[in-house]
Amino acid sequence: MRRILLLVCSVCLPTVLTWAQPRPQALQWLYFAEVKPRGWLLQQMQHDLQDGFVGHLDELVPDLIVKDDIYGKHRLTKEVKRKDVGAIGSGEWDVQYLWWNSETQSNWRDGMVRHALLTDNTAYLQKARTEVNRLLATQDKDGYLGVYAPDLRYRFTGENGELWAQTTLFRMLLGYYEATREPRVLKAIERAVAVTMRAYPLRKATPFKAEKPFAGLAHGLAFTDVLDRLYQLTGRAEYLEYAAWLYQDYCEHPPMEEDIAWQNLLNPMYAFKGHGVHTYEHLRSLLTAYYAGQGKAAVALQAPLAAYEQKLQATLSPSGGPIGDEWIVKRTANASTTGYEYCSIHELLDSYSQLLQKTGDLQYADRMEWLLYNAGQGARHPQEPSIAYLKTDNSFSMTGPLTPSASDPQTRFKYSPAHQDAAVCCVPNAGRLYPYFVKAMWMRNNQGLLCTLYGPNVLETQVRNTKLKIEQATRYPFDFTSQFTITIQQPTALELAFRKPRWASGVKVVAKGAKVQQLADRVILTKTWRTGDKVQLRFTTTPKMQQDGQGDTYFSLGPLVMALPFTTEPKPGKAFPVPGFRDVYYPKATNTNWKITPATAASLRVQTAPVAAGGTPWSSTPTVTAMLQNEGSQQEEKVTLVPMGGTILRRVTFSK
C-alpha cells in the first residue's frame, strides 16, 4: 500500500504545483552589512582578508581568476575545447567543466567583497568596487550577464553552467547592492534575470532536461537563491513563482544529482547518495518552492520538506559536518570514516539560515552555531592561511588520503590555501562562510528585532523611522555572557528578543526597566529604549557527554564540541608565489586510542584561560579535563579536551 501511495504522489505532484499568493515568512532579513563583526570575529575576518586566502586567492591562482575573463572577453563558445580550471581531467570529462572558473571566480569575489564590506577595509572596499564595476561593464545591451557567447547561450543539449555562473555572480552583486544601496546594481541584476526568464519561459521550457547532465547543470538549481532574495527586496511575486517552477522542472528531469527530487524524498527507502554540496544547497530550492505559494502547492511540498530533514540527520557528524567526501552514497555519518567537504559546510549553513528566516524556528540558529564553531572552524588551519578540503571529526592524519596507507589517489585530506590539484571551490566557499553567518545574527519580526546568533557584533538599522545601534560585547562561544548596549536616535517603544540556546540550562537577564517574558526558545524584552540602555544575558551550562549515531560518546561545552588534540611534525608541501602560503601535511599521530570509563562523567571540570596577547582567537579558550583510559597503557589518565575548532589532529568520539 505504501509503495502505491508513493507512486501516486510522485505522479500527481507536478499537476498541483500552481502558485498564487506567496506563503508568509516568519522573519525578515536585514540588509547585508547592517550587522558587522566586532571583537574576535572582526579580528579573524580582517586577518583572512589582509593576510589570508580570502584577500589573496586571485594572486595564488591567477590563471583561474585573473587571466580568464570568463564573464567578458573570454566567454565560452563552441570553439573552446579546453581550459585550465584547476582540476584533474581530460577529454570529455575535462570539457564539461569549462564553466568551472565562473564558480571559482564568483564565489571568491562573493567572500572577498562581503569581507571588505563587513570589515570596512579601505583598500579592499576599493578592490570590491573595481570588481563590481568591471563585471557590470560586461553586461550586454539586452541585459545578459554570464559566461556564454551567443552561439551557446541558452542553447544547450548537455552539461552546462549557465544558471550556475549567473547564480554565483548575482549573489555577490546582491550583497554589494544591499550594503551600498546603489540602484544601478539592482537594476543590472533584474535586467539579467529577465533575460534568463525570457530565454526559459515559465512552464514552456525545460532548462534541466539534458543529455549527460552533471555538476554545472545541477548547481544551476541554486538560481532560486537569487530569485528568492529578489522577491524579498522588490516584493515581485513572479520571482518566487519562477523559482518554484525551476524546482518542479528539476524534479521532472533530474540530472545525476537527484537527492532533492520530491519522488525520492517521499520514498522512505531512499537515502541520500549524491554529491554532498548539491544535496545541501538544493534544500534552499525546495524551501523556496514551499514558500512560493499557499493551498495545494504548499501542502504538496510539506511532506518532501519534512522527509528531507529526516534523511539529513543520518549524514551529520558530532560537529554538525555533513557527509560530503565527496559523495554521500547512502552512508551514515561516522566520526572516523566519513568526511565533509568545506563547500558542504557552507551550503548547509546557508540552508539552515534560510530555514531560520522562513520558519522562525530557532533550532536552526542552534544548528548554525554548532556547524560554524565546530566543523567550520575545525576544518581551518588554526595558525596558517589554509583549509582542509575534506576533514573528519576524528582526524588522525592529514596527508592527502583519509589514511596514510590508502592506495587511492585522494589529495583532499590536507591543508592548502587553494587545493588547485583537486578543485579551487572549497577555498572560495570558506571565504563566504563567516559573512553569511554574520548577516543572520539579527533578523526582524513583526514586533521588533530578534537576536538569533551570538558572537561579538554591532547592529545598525532603522526601526519605526528611528536609527538604532546595538553593540554586543562578548567572547562567545568561549564565554557565555553577553552585554548589549543601545544607542537610539529618540526614545522608542520596541520589542527586543534574544534566542535561548538549546544547550543552556538557564539564562540570567539584566535589563533595567524592561518587561521580561521568558519563552521556551527566547527571552522577550519590552520597554521604551533610550541611548545608554544595556541588556546583559548570562547562559549557564556544564560539560555534557553526548552520543552520536554510532553509539560513541563525545563531549560538549555550550556550543563547542571538545576534542583530545594530537601533535605531529608538519611536512611542508607546495609553496605558492605569495609569501606565507603553502600546502602542509600532518603524518599519522600515535597514541590515539582512548576510551570512556565509569569515572569519566564525574571527572569533568571546566578550566578557563586568560586571553593571550597576540594569539589567534582560538588559542585562548575554555578547556575541559576528564579521566579517560589510555588503550596503550590500559591506565586511566587525566586529559585536557579543547574546542575542536582550534585543533588539527584530534579525537572527538570515544567508545566505552
Which helix (H) or strand (E) covers residue 304, if one does?
A: helix 296-313
Number of residues in the chain = 656
Task: Give pLDDT, residue 236.
Answer: 96
The more confident residue out of 21 and 69 is 69
The conformational region for residue 385 under phi > 0 = left, psi -120 to 50 = alpha, else beta, is beta
Helix axes 53-60, 39-50, angle to 10 degrees: 10
Q: In angstroms, rounded to a whole number, what is the distance separating the alpha carbons of residues 395 and 318?
A: 13
Tell how far CA 543 is from the center of its chain: 27
Q: What is the pLDDT of residue 84?
A: 63
Q: Which residues pair with 471 in a beta bridge?
A: 458, 485
**Confidence bin at 8 (pLDDT 50/70/90):** very low
**For 162-220, how does the pLDDT look when each residue is reduced to its tens digit (9 = 90+)?**
999 999 999 999 999 999 999 999 999 999 999 999 999 999 999 999 887 878 999 99
pLDDT tens per residue, range 475-484: 999 999 999 9
- Find out whether 514 and 535 touch, Cβ atoms under 8 Å: yes
State the average pLDDT over residues 66-72. Answer: 96
Mean pLDDT lowest among 88-92, 257-261, 364-368, 571-575: 88-92
Q: For the chain, give the percent of residues with pLDDT over 70.
A: 94
Q: How many CA atoms lie within 13 A of 59 on its CB side?
A: 16
pLDDT value of residue 328: 97
State how far the Cα of 244 lies from the Cα of 300, in Å rounded to an integer: 12
Alpha carbon distances (Å) from 420 to 29, 121, 579: 35, 28, 17
Q: Are 342 and 429 in contact (CB under 8 A)?
A: yes
Burial annotation 505-520 (CB, 10 A radius, 16+ → b, else e): eebeeebeebeeeeee
End-to-end CA distance of the chain: 42
Average of per-residue pLDDT values in the chain: 93
Which residue type does 613 have? A
Evaluate if residue 6 carries a pLDDT over 70: no
How confident is the model at residue 12, as a pLDDT? 46
This prediction has a pTM of 0.95
Q: Are 57 and 65 within 8 A, CB to CB?
A: yes
SS3 240: helix
Question: Which three three-digit cell numbers place residue 66?
Answer: 585573473
Q: At 239, which helix (H) or strand (E)? A: helix 237-252
Q: In the 3-class helix/strand/coil scheme, how is 448-478 assigned residue by residue?
A: EEEECCCCCEEEEEEECCEEEEEEEECCCCC
Pick the most confident of 6-15, 79-88, 407-416.
Answer: 407-416
* Euclidean distance between CA atoms 395 and 375, whole angstroms: 12
User: Out of 69-83, 457-471, 510-524, 539-553, which region has the weakest mean confidence (pLDDT)?
Assistant: 69-83
Q: What is the mean pLDDT of residues 492-507?
A: 97
Q: Tell me how far apart the alpha carbons of residues 455 and 376 are, in angstroms, rounded to a whole number.
A: 15
- Amino acid residing at 518: Q
Q: What is the pLDDT of residues 316-340, one digit of tens each?
A: 999 999 999 999 999 999 999 999 9
- A 10 A CB-CB count for 130 gives 10
Contact in structure between 321 and 340 (CB atoms under 8 Å): yes
Q: CB burial class (10 A; 0-12, 13-18, 19+) of residue 248? A: buried
10 φ/ψ angles, rounded to the nearest 5 degrees = -70, -25
Least Cα distance to 250 among 265, 266, 262 occurs for 262
Cβ contacts of 242 within 8 Å, gap of 6 or more: 197, 202, 227
Residue 19: what residue type? W
Kindly report, residue by residue over 244-272, the tens digit of the pLDDT.
999 999 999 988 899 999 999 999 999 99
Does the pLDDT at position 95 exceed 70?
no
Three-state secondary-structure class, residue 528: strand
For the four alpha carbons of 635, 641, 647 and 652, in that order, the dihedral sign comes to positive
Place of cell 548570562: 538
Confidence class for position 21, pLDDT limits 50, 70, 90: confident
Give SS3 for 557.
Answer: strand
Question: Is the pLDDT confidence value at 19 over 80?
Answer: no
More confident residue, 20 or 145: 145
Mean pLDDT is lowest, of 5-19, 291-305, 439-453, 605-619, for: 5-19
Residue by residue, DSSP assigns 386-453 as: -EESEE-SSBS-BSBSSSTT--S----BSEESS-TTT-TTHHHHHHHHHHHHHTTSEEE-SSEEEE-S
How high is the pLDDT of residue 572?
A: 97
Q: Which of 89-103, 405-419, 455-469 has the highest mean pLDDT?
A: 455-469
Residue 217 and residue 164: Cα distance in Å, rounded?
Answer: 7
Task: Give the pLDDT score at 98.
Answer: 86
Question: What is the pLDDT, as a whole number, of residue 547?
Answer: 97
Cell numbers placing 271? 537515502
CB 250 within 8 A of CB 221: yes
CATH of 444-540, one of 2.60.40, 2.30.29, 3.40.50, 1.10.10: 2.60.40
Q: From the centroid of its chain, how far is CA 582?
A: 25
Residue-range domain boundaries for the chain: 31-263, 444-540, 544-654
